[in-house]
Structure 1
C-alpha cells in the first residue's frame, strides 16, 4: 500500500447511534484499561468491527487512541505507586520492534487477500489468544481466590529468576531480579500482538505475571507504559499508510479518557485476583463474539458456504455477545469498586 494513500471505502458512515455506541465502547474500554492495564482493545477493536469497520482500520484507529489514554492511566497509577517504570521502558523497547513487524504482516495479508482476509486474520488471532490466555488467567484467578486472594510467584518465574544470564537487571519496584533476555521476548510478543489486534496486554500482563514474576497489580499498571510507547510508534506507521480513521479515534478517546481514570481508581479497592477475574471473563465472552463473526469472512473468501440468513443471525448474535462483554466487564469492575469501598469504610469505622 502506498504511503499516505487514502481509500474512502475503508471509512464507514457514522450516524448518531454509531457515535453513541462507539463512545460507550470507548468508556468501557477505558474502564477496563485503567483496571487491568490491557489497553481495553479487546473490546474496542471488535466493537468497531461489529459496526463494519475493516479490521486494519479498527486496529490502526484503536492503536492511535491508545497512547494518550495509556499515558493518562499510567500517570494515574504511578501516583498510586503501582508502576514499574524501569520494567515498562525496557519492555517497550522490544515491543516497539514487534509492533513494526506485526504491521508489515498485516499489510502483506491485506495486499494478498483484501479486507476479508485481514478481518479473518484479526478475528482468528482474537479467538486463539482470548481462549488460550483467558482460560489460563481464569483458572489462576479462581485458584488465587480460593487461597484467600494472595498471589504466589509461579514456578516458571522462580526458575527464570534463578538463572544468572548476563545482563541481570534489578527491578526494585516489582521486587525481582531477572535476566534482560527473559524480558525481551515478552515485550516483543506484546508488540506483535498489539499490531495484530491492537492489544498487547493479553501477552504483556500475563507474561509479566507468569513468566517474569511481577505482581498482578504492578503488571497491569506497567503495561500502560508499554502501551503508550507501542501506541505512539504504531500510530505513526499506520497513519502513514492511510489506515487511521481520526473520527473513530476521537470518539472512543473521549469515552476512554473518562473510563480509564475511574478504572485506575478501582484498582485501589480490589484484591489482585479480581483483576485477573475481570480480564479472563471479558476475554472469553469476546472470543465467542469474534468466533461468530468468522463465518462471514470465510464466506467472502470462498472458503465456506453459509446462507445470508444464517450469516445475518450469527452477526447479530456476535454483536449481542460484544454488548454482553461490555456490560459484564463494567458491571464486575464497578461492583468490585462499590464492595471494596464499602469494606474500607466499614473497617475505618
Structure 2
C-alpha cells in the first residue's frame, strides 16, 4: 500500500512538471509576436477549409483529406469549434490552477460528445505537439538534460509509440467499438488509481493544517533528488553494457545505469502516450526517480525533451497520416488552453493549497467516473456482458452529466475567483 502511495506521489510530481511545461509554452506563445503570427497562420487554412466544407459531404476529396472513407470528420460547424475551445479552456484551467496536467480530461471529454476514441487520442497528441512547436524552450532546458539519457530514452519511447499506434489502429480496423472499449478501459484503470490516491491524499491533508499542507506541497519536489530509492539502487548495480553516466553534478563521479533499462522505460512511456493521447510526463517522473534513481532536476529536463519528440512523432506518424487527427478540434483546444493555463496559474496566488488539492481530486475523479459509466455500454456492444441498450445509455448519460457538471462547476469557480480578485492579481503582477 505504501509503495502505491509513493508511486502516486511521483506520478503527481510528473504531472506537475508537465503542467509547468504547459505554462511556459503558453507564456512563450502569448508574449511573442512571431509565435502569435505562427498560431494565426496555422489556424487560417483550417478555418477557411472548414468554412468551405461546412454543409458538404466531402465526396470530391481524397480519403485522407476528408472524404467519406476518412476517419476524421469531413466538415465542422461553429458549435464544434467553440466546444473544442471550451474543452481546451477547461483543460488549461486545470493545468494552471491545479498544477497538474489537464490532458487526462481531454480524451474523455471528446469521447463523451461522440468523437471516436482513436480520433480523440490522435487529436490530443497533435494539440500537445502544436503547442510544443510554437512555444519550444528546449535551448533553455538543455542544462538539465542528460543528452545520453534523453537520446537512449527516445529510442524506447518512439518504439513504444509505434507499437501503441499500431495497436490502436489494428483494434479500430478490427472493430471501432472494440477500439473505444480498449481506450476507455485504459482510462478507467489509470484514472481510477489516480482518483483513489488523490482523494486519500486530500482527506489526509484536510485533517492537517492548511499551512502544513501547502508547505508540504511546495517542498516535496526535491525531497528525493539526492537520495537514490531502493529500486533505483538495485537497477544501477546491474552491470549490463553499455552503461550510461549521468548526474555528475549531484553524485561524485556520477551515477551509472544500463541503457537497457532506459530503453524499456522509454518503451513503456511511449506506448502509454500513444494509447491514451497524453505527453507521458506523469509516467516519466516516477519511472525515472523511483525506478531508475535519476535526480529530479535531470528527470524534469529529460521529460520536457521527450514530450516534444514523442508527441510529434506519435501524432504525425501514427495518427495524422492515417486520418486520425481532427485539426479543427486540435486548434480550438490549443486556443482555449493558452488562455486557461494563464488564468489558472494566476488563481493559485489567491487560493489555499488545500483547495487546489481538493479540486485536483475532484477533476481526476470526474474523468474516472465518466469513463467508468461509459464502459458497460461498450462491453455490452461487444457482447462481453448482458445489458439493455436503454440501461447502457442511461449509465453513459449519468457519467456525462457528472463529468461535465464537475468540470463546468470548476470552470465557473475559477473564473469567479479570478474576477473577484482581479485587483489583487493586477497588483502582484
TM range (shorter): 0.7 to 0.9
Structure 1 residues not aligned, in runs of 5+: none
Q: Is the 8 A contact 2:72 2:325 kept in 1?
A: no
C-alpha contact 2:72 2:323 (8 A) present in aligned 1: no
1:98 aligns with 2:157: no
1:132 is aligned to 193
> 1:194–1:9: structure 2 CA closer, same or farther, 3 Å change rule?
closer
Change over 3 Å in CA distance of 1:171–1:34 after alignment to 2? farther
Deviation at 1:108, TM superposition (A): 1.8
Q: Does 1:211 align with 2:291?
A: yes
Residues 285, 303 of structure 2: 8 Å contact kept: yes
Contact 1:39 1:66 in 2 (8 A): no
| Closer, same or farther: CA 8–313 of 1 in aligned 2, 3 Å | same
8 Å contact 1:299–1:305 — kept in the other structure? yes
For 1:197, the equivalent position in structure 2 comes to 276
Larger Rg: 2
8 Å Cα contact 1:190-1:204 kept in structure 2: yes
Question: What TM-score do you get using the length of structure 1 for normalisation?
Answer: 0.75
Q: Which has the higher contact order (CA 8 A, sep 6+)?
A: 1
Paired positions, count = 338
Equivalence for 1:164: 237
Q: TM-score, normalised by structure 2?
A: 0.63
CA contact (8 A) 1:95 1:230 kept: yes
Aligned twin of 2:373: 292
Q: Is the 8 A contact 1:30 1:263 kept in 2?
A: yes
Verify: 1:234 aligned to 2:314, yes or no. yes
Counterpart-to-counterpart distance in 2, 1:323 and 1:106: 26
Any gaps of 5 or more consecutive residues in structure 2? 1-62, 206-211
**1:224–1:71 CA distance, 2 compared to 1 (3 A):** farther
Alignment partner for residue 301 of structure 1, among 357, 375, 382? 382
Residues 1:216 and 1:287: Cα distance change in structure 2 (over 3 Å):
farther
> 2:64, 2:296 → 1: CA distance?
40
RMSD: 4.4
How far apart in 1 are the matches of 2:86 and 2:356?
21
Corresponding residue for residue 153 of structure 1: 224
User: In terms of mean alpha carbon deviation, does 184-193 or 213-222 score higher?
Assistant: 213-222
| Higher alpha-carbon deviation: 67-76 or 190-199 | 67-76
